[in-house]
Structure 1
Amino acid sequence: MATVMRNTSGSDVEAQLIYAITLPISCAIILINLLIILAITCSRQLHNSQNYFFLSLLVADLCTGVALPFIPWMGLNRPLSFSSCLLVHVFPNFLFLAFLFNLVLVHYERYRSIVSPLRRGQLWLHRRFALPLLAVWMLPLLFALLPAFGWNNKAIHDQNGCCPETNSTAHSNCVALTGEHCCTYRSVFPNAFIYLEVYGLLAPAIFSIAAMTCRVLWITREQLRDIQRLQRAVAHKEYRRRLEMRYACCVAAVSLAFLACWVPYIVYTHVGMEFLLRRGGKSDRTGHIVLSCVGVGGIAVVPLLLGLANREYTDPVKKLFRKLRHRYGNTSVQMDSSLRFCHS
């Protein structure tokens, strides 16, 4: 009985830790995504294939923000039936994979537009934009549903007693009374599935985004050198200095974004593989919670940085806030005038 009470209090502490970390990040992700989505949908000038790709990414990021408080629970044990266990693991996994696929699509589209700027309108991505949009949602869905189609460890779930896992008779009777077994990631995801997702999908996606970003920075550097060669003829030293400063700020911003957003997720992925798979899940639960919250939350901030860095998206939001402030200010002035008139 004392063991059960200790585990219950431990679960409460873990729940408080998860919500304390994820809820502020989740609320910020949802709010900023809604503002940028509103800016794109309300501006007809932004209705093109490039912004449709980014709009799809924002929707996926919004869904990831909604699912963020539930993602850390995927690595913890819970008393659930197998159907519920499938749902709480498969659905967040699908949302995150869809987000990652959309992020790769946006980076690839921008990379192709920079590499071939004169043929931008002729790219198949823009002529058949519905196909890649469908692919970045359907492919993650099909892959995430593989455990529901039978690629799972249901036998392990049926053998596990109620959480926490013990050999006591009370916990064995709990299964008979409630019909619930201990739901773990091992019950849903076989080791082969996890390795395939991490090293077959996640790692190539991250490496491709990093490679495209480095290539874009290299192209920008070459263009900057060409501009500097032209400017030497007229000796615009101040202009060249400003260009170099802007490029240095761009490189610094990209480096900081990578360190703040991608590195925690990469660490979380490999540490999770090490502890959950090779050590049989006997890992530090608090460390797992913190790493998963910070890692997934950090990578979910990447689309927000891309959106806030683009004036096409931020200017409509600023205009909307100015209109609201102007309207609210006029209403306040009218109310003050009415009150003064009544008092007089």
Structure 2
Amino acid sequence: MAVVMRNNSGSNVEAQLIYAITLPVSCAIILINLLIILGITCSRQLHNSQNYFFLSLLVADLCTGVALPFIPWMGLNRPLSFSSCLLVHIFPNFLFLAFLFNLVLVHYERYRSIVSPLQRGQLWLHRRFALPLLAVWTLPLLFALLPAFGWNNKAIHDRNDCCPITNSTAHSNCVALSGERCCTYRSVFPNAFIYLEVYGLLAPAILSIAAMTCRVLWITREQLRDIQRLQRAVANRECRRRMEMRYACCVAAVSLAFLACWVPYIVYTHVGMEFLLRRGGRSNRTGHIVLSCVGIGGTAVVPLLLGLANREYTDPVKKLFRKLRHRCRNASVQMDTSLRFS
């Protein structure tokens, strides 16, 4: 019984740590995504294929924000049946993969639009935008469902329980109270599946986003040099200085966003591989919780930065809040006048 009480107290501390880190970040992600989605849907000028791609990314990011408090539990042991264990691991994994696929699609569309600006309306992404949107949701779902189709370690789940073997009496009491086998990451995802997801999907996606971003910055630099050559003829040094400053600020912002959003996730991915595969989950559980929360939360901030940096998305929301504030002021003035005359 003492062993069960120690396990319960440990799980309570872990739960408090997870919710203390993830709930504020999750609420902020959900709220900002809803505001940007509202701004896009309320403006008819933004109803085009490019913004549909970004709207799909925001929906995926919103779902990731909802699932964020549950993702750190995937690396911890919990007493669950195998069907419940599949659900609590497959569903968050699908949401994050869908988010990553949508993020790659948005970066690719913007990259193609910058590389071939004159052929933007002729791109197949814009002419048949429904197909890419269907693909970035269907392919992650099919891959995430592979453990449910049989590619899993059910045998590990059937022979594992969450009770430490200290003595036979304590172990039997713990098993009798829990009533469920121990649900772990390893019982749902085989090692081959984890390697395939990390090095076959996640790593190429992150590298492609980084490569497209660097290519866009390089194209921007070349265009800036062309503009500066033209400006040398009129000796407009102040304008050149402002353009160079804006470009430097853009490069610094992109670099800081990459360091703040992607580096923690890359560290979490490789440390998670060490934690789950090589050490079998016997490591610093607190460190794993903090890394998972910071890593996943950091990647979920990327679409918010893209959305808040675009005035087309934020201006409709600002106008809506101005109207609401104006109506509230009018209502308060009318109420004050009615109270005075009454």
Work out whether the TM-score is over 0.5.
yes
- Residue by residue, what CA displacement relative to the aligned partner does 1:257-283 show, whole Å, maximum 9, x if unpaired? 001100000000001111221111111
| Shift in Å, 1:172 | 4.5
Structure 2 counterpart SS, 1:203: helix
Q: CA separation in 2, counterparts of 1:163 and 1:70?
A: 22
Contact 1:77 1:164 in 2 (8 A): no
Relative to structure 1, the CA distance from residue 165 to residue 211 in structure 2 (aligned partners, 3 Å threshold; closer, same or farther) is farther
- Residue by residue, what CA displacement relative to the aligned partner does 1:8-54 show, whole Å, maximum 9, x if unpaired? 11111110000000000000000010111111111111010000000
Verify: 1:88 aligned to 2:82, yes or no.
Answer: no
Relative to structure 1, the CA distance from residue 25 to residue 233 in structure 2 (aligned partners, 3 Å threshold; closer, same or farther) is same
- Residue by residue, what CA displacement relative to the aligned partner does 1:102-150 show, whole Å, maximum 9, x if unpaired? 0000000000000000000000100110000000000000000000000
Report the equivalent of 1:218.
218
Contact 1:7 1:164 in 2 (8 A): no
RMSD: 1.4
Contact 1:50 1:126 in 2 (8 A): yes
| Shift in Å, 1:3 | 2.3
Q: CA separation in 2, counterparts of 1:165 and 1:22?
A: 32
Q: CA separation in 2, counterparts of 1:179 and 1:155?
A: 17
Q: CA separation in 1, counterparts of 2:188 and 2:167?
A: 22
| Shift in Å, 1:168 | 3.6
Relative to structure 1, the CA distance from residue 202 to residue 142 in structure 2 (aligned partners, 3 Å threshold; closer, same or farther) is same
Q: CA separation in 2, counterparts of 1:101 and 1:165?
A: 43
Contact 1:78 1:163 in 2 (8 A): no
Contact 1:71 1:92 in 2 (8 A): yes
- Residue by residue, what CA displacement relative to the aligned partner does 1:141-199 show, whole Å, maximum 9, x if unpaired? 00000000000000000001244576745545655676510000011000000000000
Structure 1 unaligned spans of 5+: none
Q: CA separation in 2, counterparts of 1:331 and 1:256?
A: 44
Contact 2:186 2:276 in 1 (8 A): no
How many percent of aligned residue pairs carry the same amino acid? 92
TM-score normalised to structure 2 length = 0.97
Structure 1 counterpart SS, 2:182: strand
Structure 1 counterpart SS, 2:79: strand
For this pair of structures, how many residues does the alignment match?
A: 342
Relative to structure 1, the CA distance from residue 109 to residue 164 in structure 2 (aligned partners, 3 Å threshold; closer, same or farther) is farther
Structure 2 counterpart SS, 1:36: helix
Contact 2:61 2:303 in 1 (8 A): yes
Q: CA separation in 2, counterparts of 1:275 and 1:91?
A: 21
- Residue by residue, what CA displacement relative to the aligned partner does 1:42-95 show, whole Å, maximum 9, x if unpaired? 111101000000000000000000000000000000000000000000000000
| Shift in Å, 1:7 | 1.7
Q: CA separation in 2, counterparts of 1:122 and 1:165?
A: 66
Q: CA separation in 1, counterparts of 2:163 and 2:335?
A: 60
Contact 2:77 2:162 in 1 (8 A): no
